[in-house]
């Protein structure tokens, strides 16, 4: 396992991946925010009309539901920032880790591969179900293990 500098092509790939993460994060936040607010209001208006417009507590209940649904949305939005920060620090350092190691275990559900030196990589689509326990893997990853440049059989 050794640290080497990124090539220009890899820097561009990493910048594009970072930009994709940022735009996807904000797009998902806006989408779910609109769904929560509009859905709760659309669901609450008929119920409010059925009560005969007398119950002000019901409006506060609708606002409470909106606030309760915003809590997990906000937590998800803030925790997704961690991956973006890792990618940004990897880009700033301008290095990657290259090495060879044998496969210690393979998780069949998410295709996560744990190598004998403790590094975790994911099985690429082109090698789906071709990796076996004990195979020698050639990998190139970012220092934070957030982005995999290359992972293939030796």
Q: How many CA atoms lie within 13 A of 3 on its CB side?
A: 8
Contact residues for 64 (Cβ-Cβ < 8 A; gap 6+): none
pLDDT at 52 over 70: no
Name the more confident of 54 and 21: 21
**Confidence category of residue 54, pLDDT binned at 50, 70, 90:** low
**Confidence category of residue 21, pLDDT binned at 50, 70, 90:** very high
Name the more confident of 45 and 89: 89
Instruction: State the angle between helix axes of 8-50 and 56-93 in degrees (0 to 180), rounded to the nearest 10.
Output: 180
Q: pTM of this prediction?
A: 0.75
CA–CA distance, 25 with 28 (Å, rounded to integer) = 5
Q: Residues 67-77: pLDDT tens digits?
A: 888 899 999 89
Name the more confident of 99 and 1: 99
CA dihedral 110, 115, 118, 120 (to 10 degrees): -30
Q: Residues 123-137: pLDDT tens digits?
A: 776 667 788 888 888
**Confidence category of residue 66, pLDDT binned at 50, 70, 90:** confident
């Amino acid at each position: 396992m050794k640290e080497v500098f990124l090539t220009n092509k890899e820097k561009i790939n990493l910048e594009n991946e970072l930009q994709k993460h940022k735009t996807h994060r904000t797009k998902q936040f806006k989408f779910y925010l609109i769904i929560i607010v509009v859905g709760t209001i659309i669901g609450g208006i008929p119920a409010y009309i059925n009560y005969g417009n007398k119950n002000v507590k019901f409006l506060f209940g609708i606002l409470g539901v909106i606030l309760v649904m915003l809590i997990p949305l906000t937590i998800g939005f803030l925790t997704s920032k961690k991956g973006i920060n890792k990618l940004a620090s990897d880009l700033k350092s301008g290095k990657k880790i290259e090495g060879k190691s044998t496969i210690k275990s393979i998780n069949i559900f998410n295709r996560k591969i744990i190598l004998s030196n403790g590094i975790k990589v994911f099985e690429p689509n082109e090698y789906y179900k071709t990796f076996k326990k004990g195979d020698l893997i050639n990998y190139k990853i970012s220092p934070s293990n957030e982005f995999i440049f290359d992972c293939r059989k030796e």
